[in-house]
Structure 1
Amino acid sequence: MLVTLIVASALSPLAINIFIPSMASIARDLLAEEAIVGLGLSLYLAATALIQLVAGPLSDRYGRRPVIIGGMVLFMVGTGMCLAAEEVWLFLAGRVVQAASATGIALSRAIVRDVFERERAAAMIGYVTMGLAVAPMLGPLIGGSIDTAFGWRWVFWLLAAIGVVTIGLLLADLSETNADRGKPMRDQFKNYGALLGAGSFWSYALVSALISAVFFAFLGGAPFVAVNILHMTPAEYGLWFGLCAAGYILGNFMTAQLSERLGIKTLMVAGSAISMSAALLSLAFIVVGWLTPATVFAPMFLVGIGNGLATPTSTAGGVSVVPHAAGAAAGMLGALQIGTGALASFAASLVATRHGGPIGLFALMAAFGLGSLIVAMAARRVRNA
């Protein structure tokens, strides 16, 4: 079932950015402005955050299996809308419906927590979230190649094919893991109140959101630095960016191996410290005048490791605070990650282009890393954290 959860959790992040190289093609074909087509990204992210908030309580009420499969069916509907679009508004509506695949992100974590105790859950979540690194790394490369060879609609045909495979795996392999389902929805949404009032949950949630913000800030600001200052081609950017994804995969693997031995709090602190230090390292290189692809991207390998250590452990801790509300907790954690990441990405793009360039970008990343480190260290003094 682990492979099935990896595939299910990877579909949504793959769909987030696989279409980005095709935005100009879509704009030309649908006779729309590129800025309007760009809403296909921001609306998808916003819908992803909202869907995770709803998916958690729904899965606590009706079970993990029907909700995650239902989300994937809606993803197929949205993909069909994008394929059928002859004008931009149907395309954008399809992107919003596609975001239902976010049930795979939130509920794969809840399913792991249903099956394993907290420390072991951190190890298994480490494996599951590897898909979250591989999919965004390969998405633009695959999407750009398909668009160039066959046109943008074939990108969505590929997503449809992957969606079919995902649904097939879920139907054949995913068992129901929520043994405490059946409470009325109003009681399920009350779980959010219990989570909001739990200081230990906020410790985990803030670590998860802030450590993710380090990565999302780089996503938002680095392309401007790479293209406008370093004059890198998209292909060069993609190759260098692979260092971050490789670090994230390694960090998740380390979490899977070390979480039971060292505990999730130790790995949260270590991951936050590594990510902050990596951002400071790039900042120091740039301040002294060493602005090269290596000084911008090589430390991102360490940022990836830090995220791989802190993200699955903070997630495992967050979904363990109120065990009967694991679905709601997973949804809230996912929504906070995506929401904070979207804000961090937007802020970084402004900083990188208008207010400080690469120095401002890495200072912002270091600030997010520092915030994550402070919260992770404070979590040691929180009961049940």
Structure 2
Amino acid sequence: MEKQLAGETMTPVERQVAAWLAGVFSLRMLGLFMILPVFALYAEHLNGSTPALAGLAIGIYGASQAVFQIPYGLLSDRFGRKRVIYAGLVIFAAGSVLAAVSGSIWGVIAGRLLQGAGAISAAVMALAADLTREEHRTKVMATIGVSIGISFAVSMVAGPLLNSLIGVSGIFWLTALLAFGGIAVVRFLVPDPQDERLHRDTQPVPAQFMRVLRDSQLLRLDFGIFALHLILTATFVAVPHALKDLAGLPPARHWEIYLPTMVLGMGLMVPFVIIGEKRRKLKQVFLGAVGLLTLAELALIGFHAGFWSVGVAMLMFFTAFNLLEATLPSLVAKMAPPDAKGTAMGVYASTQFLGAFCGGAIGGWLNGHFGLSAVFQMAALVGLLWLAVASTMKNPRYLSSYLLNVGPQADEAAAARLALTLTGIRGVAEAVVIADDGVAYLKVDRHALDEAALLAHSVTPAG
């Protein structure tokens, strides 16, 4: 992550931007995730529903999200961040209403597809970058990232509880209200940016797509997030049925499985994150988490008919899932070129949502034709394939991204000379200076960095 400049603190406005935009993200992700643990059972009562179509409805949002994720970010450069965010949230709300009022599975599929089309993530990230200084941007992005993780955890528990109170259609209505709440937050609480410009650390740059797509290490991580969300979505095509039909747990009580296993899983993953980062064992921890995820799916194959056995398998699942969700973005940041981090993360996010789509569609089809065990078998096979792919990954360099405001340069030659100078500073491994951006994109060793020498080149030195 980017290192904070010495002596600098976030301004109240920057802290508010981080909090409010994290809230907007959370409201939207709650709407997407809350139906994950409950929809497979709800779909049984919809006209025209089949297990395959139910799985498609669960994952279809990922297809449109993957398609529109990057274009929305590019459109926000042209039409303004807030306008694109408003449009995306309105589309998301419209999809939620369509799903709420639909009595047929096809209507819900259309609603979920429309929900995914309201893909505001890139535009929100760009707005956050516009409103924060370079040296604090990662803290803002980390706040948003944490909010997404919390939203997922809350959704696993809130979904079954709300289902017992207002039903799945009520959850869709609530989701629409949350979207309009997000619009109000952006309109009245988030400041208007004075300058909207490209930020290579948070936004994709079309000219860099091929560079990122040719990077075999980044492609391994893209496959990883694809596999992770395929397994996640496929698992929740099947687990609600297993809990209700085989373990005998009514849907209103499914939270009794999800709450303790999710909370314990989040706690258990923390020491492994510390070991990976502090002791530089990230690859080993990463491979162990992929192996644990695969073991969870293997356990579900043979033991998905019992309350306690499902509980143990889900504890393994959530521990591995939370650990992988935390380490994958860190690995992308470490391996991406310093000036192409935003592009790498954009491709990564798109493959994540594509994985969710494939997990729902394939998982639903397998459930309909071969039963629940086939869904878990497929997920386990994907986990084994991922383990094979990940085992060939290079050990990551333990470098942090570091942004330095150096001011606009006279030309590219001057930018190249400055980059060469910065590379000569102790602890700086890579430096790229874009003349027009006025920003130096660096990869640094935090433990060896001569920050005082680096700050001498900043146009906003600490003080």
Q: One fold, TM greater than 0.5?
A: yes
Asked if 1 retains the 8 angstrom alpha-carbon contact of 2:301 and 2:377, the reply is: no
Closer, same or farther in 2 for the Cα pair 1:82/1:359, shift >3 Å?
closer
Q: Unpaired runs of 5+ in structure 1?
A: none
Asked if 1 retains the 8 angstrom alpha-carbon contact of 2:55 and 2:361, the reply is: no
Q: CA deviation at 1:112?
A: 6.4
Which residue number in structure 2 is paired with residue 58 of structure 1?
Answer: 75
Describe how 1:152-301 pairs up with structure 2 within 5 A.
Answer: 153-171=169-187, 172-173=189-190, 176=193, 180-181=197-198, 189-246=206-263, 249-250=266-267, 262=278, 266-267=281-282, 269-280=284-295, 283=298, 292-301=309-318
Which gives a bigger RCO, structure 1 or 2 (Cα 8 Å, sep 6+)? Answer: 1
Which residue number in structure 2 is paired with residue 145 of structure 1?
Answer: 164
Asked if 1 retains the 8 angstrom alpha-carbon contact of 2:93 and 2:179, the reply is: yes
Q: Which has the higher helix share?
A: 1
Tell me the secondary structure at the aligned position of residue 160 of structure 2. helix
Which residue number in structure 1 is paired with residue 358 of structure 2?
Answer: 343
Q: CA deviation at 1:169?
A: 1.7
Asked if 2 retains the 8 angstrom alpha-carbon contact of 1:208 and 1:333, the reply is: yes
Closer, same or farther in 2 for the Cα pair 1:2/1:315, shift >3 Å?
farther
| Distance in 1 (alpha carbons) for counterparts of 2:271 and 2:145 | 8
Asked if 1 retains the 8 angstrom alpha-carbon contact of 2:34 and 2:158, the reply is: yes
TM-score, structure 1 normalization: 0.72
Q: 1:5 aligns with which of 11, 21, 35?
A: 21
Q: Which has the higher strand share?
A: 2
Question: Is 1:69 aligned to residue 86 of structure 2?
Answer: yes
Q: Unpaired runs of 5+ in structure 2?
A: 1-16, 400-428, 431-442, 444-463
Which whole-Å deviations, capped at 9, do the CAs of 1:211-270 have from their partners, x for residues lacking one? 4444334324433443454344324443213345335654887799889x639x854652
| Distance in 2 (alpha carbons) for counterparts of 1:208 and 1:335 | 10
| Distance in 1 (alpha carbons) for counterparts of 2:217 and 2:195 | 23
Q: CA deviation at 1:336?
A: 0.3
TM-score, structure 2 normalization: 0.62
Letter in 1 for 2:146: Y
Query: What is the CA RMSD across the aligned residues, in angstroms?
Result: 4.7
Which residue number in structure 1 is paired with residue 49 of structure 2?
Answer: 34
- Alignment size in residue pairs: 372
Asked if 2 retains the 8 angstrom alpha-carbon contact of 1:4 and 1:169, the reply is: yes
Tell me the secondary structure at the aligned position of residue 33 of structure 1. coil
Q: 1:136 aligns with which of 138, 155, 166?
A: 155
Q: Quick check: which has more Rg, 1 or 2?
A: 2
Asked if 1 retains the 8 angstrom alpha-carbon contact of 2:273 and 2:323, the reply is: no
Which whole-Å deviations, capped at 9, do the CAs of 1:131-182 have from their partners, x for residues lacking one? 442353145324413435xxx6543332222112211222222554985339
Question: Is 1:43 aligned to residue 60 of structure 2?
Answer: yes
Closer, same or farther in 2 for the Cα pair 1:345/1:314, shift >3 Å?
farther
| Distance in 2 (alpha carbons) for counterparts of 1:72 and 1:257 | 36
Tell me the secondary structure at the aligned position of residue 120 of structure 2. helix
Closer, same or farther in 2 for the Cα pair 1:177/1:123, shift >3 Å?
farther
Q: CA deviation at 1:72?
A: 1.3
